Amino acid sequence: MQDLRLETLAVHAGRSPDSGTGAIIPPIHPSVTFERDADGSYPRGFIYTAKGNPNRMQLEACLSAIDGGKAAAAFSSGMAAIRSVLEILEPGDHVVVPNDAFAGTLRLVTERLARRGLQYALADMTDLAAVEAAMTPRTRMLWVETLSNPLLRVTDIAQLAELAHRHQALCACDNTLATPILVRPLLLGVDLVVHSTTKLISGHSDALGGVVVSMSETGPFESVRQAQLLEGSVPSPFDCWLIHRGLSTLPYRVDAMSDHALQIATHLERHPAVTRVHYPGLDSHPGHLTALRLMPKFGAMLSFEVTDGASAAKDVAAHVNLFLRATSFGGAQSLIEHRASSPIQFGLAVPDSLLRLSIGLEHPDDLISDLDHALAAAIPAVASDVGRG
């Protein structure tokens, strides 16, 4: 199936009609354990759901195919997937991590793993010289993120993968914000790709999961598979089924959400109450040219800063009607969040005036009207200027 286009892979990879009933939608297999034959063997290949389950096998096949890989390990959360990769490293090893990485990644590295002897450095991944300066003879991994959250900085993945390999280090990439639809890091030289399947891949805000994808079942991925098998942090059969279902529409959801996000970012950039918009699809974004090289479109998340600081930003969030005030991204419903006050924010300081938006599948004109209404209610001094110039 590797030669098929992404839209086709998303629908067909890991799926076939059920052999018993002919059902074209895979059944859910909630059984914890599986029957042995009279001779004690397991001819159907399944022993115990913590070790393997038909729904997880189907999901992993689909995730591997759309990422251009050969192997995938599904986990119970994005954090479990991230941990399985970082725990390839031994005490005394060194890892370079983005200084604006996902909060969970930063806390895992700087708090838990550092206490166990892992050495680390934080670096601006948009500055190749800064990344190289952060590397040491003990550096065994370079951890990158395609797009950062919530400032949407863009990483030149191919360049950093080459740098990592030149230093005999692995390159691992968290590609959650881009998904394989926008960027396939394995094809750019990355060794291991991580996604939180909770987000865009599932797409319905109703399933928790993560995945690690590799070009091979051997090498570093063997440690990831062992973590999956021995630590038991696997998704339930139902969550696997939900995430696999969501994959069918992933290419079209990402395409539509990216179009909506660009329209909204363009509108906000002209709004008199907005001082800055962070979205790589805008010419004004410092990573725009890198984004153009990497991806056909620019994703479903953006953030923007408003005049009058934190109180005004929180007031904007309080006055929306369509946007939901919630953490996460990638679902059908559009979300808004004052990120600096989020209890899970950690690491790089986020401007107090910043609001993060996850753009969903509503009509973009309705979302723009909702934001205009909220901005006018929160910052009335600029309401009369909307639409001028």
State the Cα–Cα distance between residues 197 and 208, nearest whole angstrom. Answer: 7
In this predicted structure, what is the pLDDT of residue 3? 83
Nearest to 15, CA basis, from 248, 181, 252: 248
State the Cα–Cα distance between residues 226 and 96, nearest whole angstrom. Answer: 24
CATH topology of domain 6-247: Aspartate Aminotransferase; domain 2 (3.40.640)
pLDDT tens for 291-314 read 999 999 999 999 999 998 999 999
77-91 average pLDDT score:
98
In this predicted structure, what is the pLDDT of residue 344? 66
pLDDT tens for 195-210 read 999 999 999 999 999 9
Q: In this model, does residue 384 exceed pLDDT 70?
A: no
Domain locations along the chain:
6-247, 251-385
CATH number assigned to the domain covering 251-385:
3.90.1150.10
Q: Would you place residue 383 in the very low, low, confident or very high pLDDT band (cuts 50, 70, 90)? A: low
358-371 average pLDDT score:
98
State the Cα–Cα distance between residues 299 and 234, nearest whole angstrom. Answer: 28
In this predicted structure, what is the pLDDT of residue 389? 43
pLDDT tens for 266-282 read 999 999 999 999 999 99
H or E stretch covering 356:
strand 354-358
Q: In this model, does residue 234 exceed pLDDT 80?
A: yes
| pTM reported for the whole predicted model | 0.94
In this predicted structure, what is the pLDDT of residue 341? 86
In this predicted structure, what is the pLDDT of residue 1? 61
For the ranges 3-17, 18-32, 183-197, the maximum mean pLDDT occurs at 183-197
In this predicted structure, what is the pLDDT of residue 345? 60
- 137, 108 contact by CB (below 8 A): no
State the Cα–Cα distance between residues 217 and 203, nearest whole angstrom. Answer: 27
Tell me the pLDDT of the chain averaged across its residues: 95
22-45 average pLDDT score:
92
Which residues make Cβ contacts (< 8 Å) with residue 274, sequence separation at least 6?
268, 304, 305, 306, 307, 375
Tell me the percentage of the chain whose pLDDT exceeds 90.
Answer: 90
Q: In this model, does residue 386 exceed pLDDT 90?
A: no
In this predicted structure, what is the pLDDT of residue 24? 95
